[in-house]
Each structure stands twice: as C-alpha cells, then as structure tokens.
Amino acid sequence: MSGSYRVAILGATGAVGEELLTLLASRNFPMSELKLLASPRSAGTKLKFKGSELTVEAVTPESFQGIDIVLASAGGSISKEYAPHAVAAGAVVIDNSSAFRMLPEVPLVVPEVNPEAAAQHQGIIANPNCTTILMAVAVYPLHQIRPIQRIIAATYQSASGAGARAMQEVLTQTQDILDGKAPKPEIFPYPLAFNLFPHNTPINAAGYCEEEMKMVNETRKILGVPGLRVSATCVRVPVLRAHSEAINLEFTEPFPVAEARDILATAPGVKLVEDWEANYFPMPIDASGQDPVLVGRIRTDLSHANGLELWLCGDQIRKGAALNAVQIAELLVAKNWLKPGSK
C-alpha cells in the first residue's frame, strides 16, 4: 500500500468513530491528513491519534474539500445529507449507515467476500449491517464450495450495536438493579440489564423487524444470490460488546463437518474456536477487541441431512463496523479504485 491520502471521519466522537481512529493508527493507513467531523455539539472535542491531539470540527457541506476518503458513521440522516457533498468534492464515501446499502448503484462490500464490487462505486460504498458482516465472513467460505440454499439465523446482539451511550446504559442499569433500584431505559425501550428482548426496530406486515430484513436483503446482495432463502430472528442481549449468532445452513447435499471445519480454519477473517471436551466455543468476551470472527460448534443438523449448524461471535464495533470500513479503504488504495467505475 503506497501513497498518502487525505481522510475524514464523519461521526468521529461515536463508538465506531473512536474505533476508526484506533484502527487507522494501528494499521498504519497511509495518510497525509486526518479530519475529524461531527455534529456542532461535539465540535471542539479533542481526540488522541498517534500521540497527538486532534480537534473535532462541526461538519458542513464544505468540510470535504480536498478529502480523498470519508469514513462515515454518523447515522443515516447525516449520511444522506452530507455524502452528496463529499462525492461532489471528489471524495469516496465509505458509509456505515443503512442509507445507501440497497441502492443498486451502491456496492455493499465485505472485503473477504466480494472485494471486486468495490471497483464499481460511483462515489459511495456501503458498509453492511454488523450482523450481516459477521455472518457473511463465516458462511461465504462454505458457500464457495457448496452453494448455500437456505440460511436461518438467530442473533444475540450486544448493547454496542446502539452505540457508546447504550453500553453505558447497561452498566448503569446493572448497578441500579444490584442496588435495589428500578432500571431506567432511555436509549433502549426496555431495561436490558438482566433482560433481553427482540430487536426494537420497526416491524413489517410479515412480522419481521427492520434489523432482520437487513440480514435478509443484504446477505442476498453481498453473495449475489437475489433469491436466496434467508430468515432471521434478532435479539438484543445484556452483553456490552460483540454480537453472537446461531446459524443454520442448508445445502443441496450433505456438507461433512470435518471438511467444513478445515475450510473455516484457514478462511480469511475467521478464527476457529472449538474445544469439544471443555465445551468451549466462541464467546463475546473473547471476541471483544478482536479482528477475526470467531466460529465454532460446527455440527450436522440432526433434522436435515443437508444442514449444517455453526455458532459465531464477532466484535460489532470492530469487524462489524469500523474494521470492515478501513479494510474497504485499504482495498481502494491497494487496487487504485478511488476513482468511480475504476474497473
């Protein structure tokens, strides 16, 4: 990776924004300039980067002049407002919100799965939903060997998916309950400490919530299989950081467990975690702060000869958001795909 690029982080003071700072530093992304942008209320905040302090600026339409890459993680409405200004200024926007994911002209990219899609961007590349990213990294290596016919997913999603304030809310609620006080939900609609509930995004007429439909539609787009049968049940659980998922895969023929285990043991972005004697498999506490998606408990579905079960955990803030975005930026630089329609 050569050259030096001018980078802006939109949403720099959020949980993902802070993780982006950490990753740009630890991965030595080639930069000549780093601009931190956020809402006016966060302007003036000081954030550390490689031993220096950078000042957060209030985002304006003019903020993107001279910028090559924008890493956006400020929410869909902010992305819709400012991404066009960034593209008009000549930057490529790697957007972590759901604002552009399902637009046909916007690539939806997981670098371990469909890196070539990034070359077709018209100025915006979408980062998939966190649960979709984690699942895609784990199932794609198997899909390459025997095409998947159906996916049934159940997710166990940590507070980190709703940001830093949601994580703090769980800590506060936990202490309140231990002190004999009633927990007060503010970020979430219900108490999450010592509790769980189905994901609280809006529910459609079929009974699926928005988070579940993201997994359905985004997985189809990333894998390039528009008719793939996918169903998901998404649940918020009282874990601070890192999501977990129980995945059931159906193939057209049996997929030997030993073969699946060998494939996943060497798959990019995956770490196999299995100790059957100790009943030790991926856990959020182990996945937190880690780059790979931890995969284990791989077994044949007793109810279906062509079925395979697996369990995974991945850091939602890292691979589920910030790391995937930085990897896309690294891909653009390595392949010289910063210009629209590069391929």
Task: Give the residue numbers annotated as catalytic, written as ranges.
Answer: 130, 243
Are 343 and 119 spatial neighbours (Cβ–Cβ below 8 Å)? Answer: yes
Are 222 and 108 spatial neighbours (Cβ–Cβ below 8 Å)? Answer: yes
CA distance 119 to 107: 8
Distances (CA, A) of 35 to 48, 65, 68, 104, 300: 12, 11, 11, 30, 49
CA distance 57 to 44: 6
Q: Could you tell me which of 106, 111, 130, 114 has the C-alpha nearest to residue 16?
A: 130
Q: Which residue has the tokens 């940590």?
A: 158
Quickly count: other Cβ atoms within 10 Å of residue 230's Cβ. Answer: 22
DSSP letters of 92-125?
A: EEEE-SSSSTT-TTS-B--TTT-GGGGGG-SSEE
- What does the block give as tokens for 3? 């050259």
Q: Could you tell me which of 11, 24, 51, 35 has the C-alpha nearest to residue 329?
A: 24
SS3 label, residue 323: helix
- What does the block give as tokens for 193? 């400490």
CA distance 249 to 149: 8
